Amino acid sequence: MRLFAIGDIHGCATALDTILAAISLRTGDRIVGLGDYINKGPESKAVIDRLIQLFDHGVLVPLLGNHELKLLAAAKQGQTQTPADVLVDQQTLASYAEPTQTGSLACIPEGHWRFVQDHCLNWLATENHIFVHANLKADQPLTAQPDTALFWEKFDQPQPHQSGKIMVCGHTPQRNGQPVNLGHAICLDTAACEGHWLTCLEVYSGGIWQANQHRDLKQSNIRDFYRKTASAPSAVTEASSQSGAEAGGGAATEELVLV
């Protein structure tokens, strides 16, 4: 079993398909989607279509992002689009519309609403990792995390979580196209929707795949991006080193705790 995490897709289905082809999924593999599947990019409908296929085959564990929360909020209150308050952008709505239609929330199929509302989780915990869209409060247990941290807080030198687990998140775009690895925390949002890269991490080996909307592909390892920080305790080593130990010790089949 391999365990992958994919950063913010933001409507970049071409980049997503390029990564899926590159990693060549095997029986037992799982993918954690870190949220923000829609908005900003041109192919939100195609992204959700692909994610639903993966979910239906038992491959995907999808997390909520703040842009999925915006979609749900728009459905609840009806969308009033003004320059200061756009919950669902026009590119997203247009991706759902037929050529002769004007995009609207009514164009979004029931299955897509159900996927976002019923199947996307707030966070995912494994033996050694916590997957979340945005961030964590370091001194609070997972069950007490506020929504502001889970969905909105920026990745700004986060402290190690009290659990001792490595946080894997997205949300804060790294416009140099490179993931951040602090040892105790990893950010995989590499600004795919801004012409940069969509990033996929294989948690146990540390392998990194990155693709863009031109179908360019490159590979590396999360250890290549390690930054030692003063806030990290000496017991926290590079995430890739811990991941390798997990795989070697049989923890590659560690239980997924879904919340």
CATH number of the domain bearing residue 150: 3.60.21.10
Q: In angstroms, how far is CA 207 from the centroid of its own chain?
A: 16
Instruction: Record the pTM.
Output: 0.86
Q: Taking residues 103-129, report their average pLDDT.
A: 94
| Cα Rg, the chain, nearest whole Å | 18
The answer on pLDDT for 85 being more than 60 is no
Calculate the dihedral angle through the C-alpha atoms of 115, 118, 120, 125, rounding to the nearest 10 degrees.
Answer: -150
Q: Number of folded domains in the chain?
A: 1
Q: Write out pLDDT tens, residues 124-147.
A: 999 999 999 999 999 999 999 999
Query: Cα–Cα distances in Å, from 31 out to 5, 19, 78, 195, 198?
Result: 6, 12, 32, 23, 14
How far apart are the C-alpha atoms of 161 and 167, rounded to whole Å? 8
Q: Over the stretch 148-175, which tens digit does the pLDDT of each residue have? A: 999 999 999 899 999 999 999 999 999 9
Query: Domain limits at 162?
Result: 3-258
Most confidently predicted of 60-64, 98-102, 105-109: 60-64
pLDDT of residue 253: 38
pLDDT bin (cut points 50, 70, 90) of residue 249 is very low
